[in-house]
Structure 1
């Protein structure tokens, strides 16, 4: 029999704690745009003690996503809940559909976009948890500003673009 290995214990109490966090499905998204894009902060890096960040992202029809980039400190995972979207795995574009999953390790090139005429919904998981909320809330504004300010914003948020 193969020996299973788990990380070392981090909780050393005897009886457990009451510390779960519930979020109702009818909670309004934290971010909404006029183009049908919405972002729900399901579990932020802050709320998970830095373990992970989990976000539900809804993209409206024909919504461009970020161009090819990588992260130095975090991995990113995509799980398609509904619709169809284009995922770039560093080598090729893949059509992701409901139930499809893409894991991008630290340093992995990736991009995504909705090229369809229908909305798409997905889960984004970042590990470890990072303050992505500021990135989501300000990326459109910073992109409009461009230049050195945009570059500094991206670096501060561990986003390194390669095809611009």
Structure 2
């Protein structure tokens, strides 16, 4: 394969000449940051730790976990990489079954959803780009869902999560 002589890279963000010590390491056996009956979430790289470049989370869903209903984001893309088990992914048109090694990229504005419909747990990586402060969303979404109503819709909107069910009810 031949490559063009001139390649377009983003503008430089580091302007030093010798590099610097700035890498961040997280051990595989680190405990999850959130645990609930439906699964766990590990904050691998947050908006804060990446300077807003991206957010990377490992999510482990228990058997028959409902995941997230159809929604979209206005400010960020979201990607899913299945590590183990099976994960149902909605790509905006239809549900597809993701298995270990499968990947789904959803650009900003793209409708998507996910769920575990099997009797076995599943594990995935979720990547948000650019990074956003998703931690509060992960930590409070179950509580806010129990409250429901206008408070839930405002919470979702605050976290750039526009659910089709909210839009269909004329809430926006």
Do Structure 1 and Structure 2 share a fold, with TM-score over 0.5? yes
Deviation track 1:83-125 (CA, whole Å, cap 9, x = no partner) reads 0010000000000000000000000000000000000000000
State the alpha-carbon separation in 1 of the partners of residues 152 and 100 from structure 2: 33
State the alpha-carbon separation in 1 of the partners of residues 11 and 51 from structure 2: 17
State the alpha-carbon separation in 2 of the partners of residues 151 and 162 from structure 1: 11
Partner residue in 2 for 1:26: 29
* Unaligned residue ranges in structure 2 (runs of 5+): 167-172
| TM-score, scaled relative to structure 2 | 0.93
**Paired positions, count:** 163
Which residues of 2 match residues 22-61 of structure 1 at below 5 A?
22-35=25-38, 37-61=39-63
State the alpha-carbon separation in 2 of the partners of residues 69 and 112 from structure 1: 10
| TM-score, scaled relative to structure 1 | 0.97
Which residues of 2 match residues 7-156 of structure 1 at below 5 A?
7-35=10-38, 37-156=39-158
Deviation track 1:109-151 (CA, whole Å, cap 9, x = no partner) reads 0000000000000000000000000000000000000111101
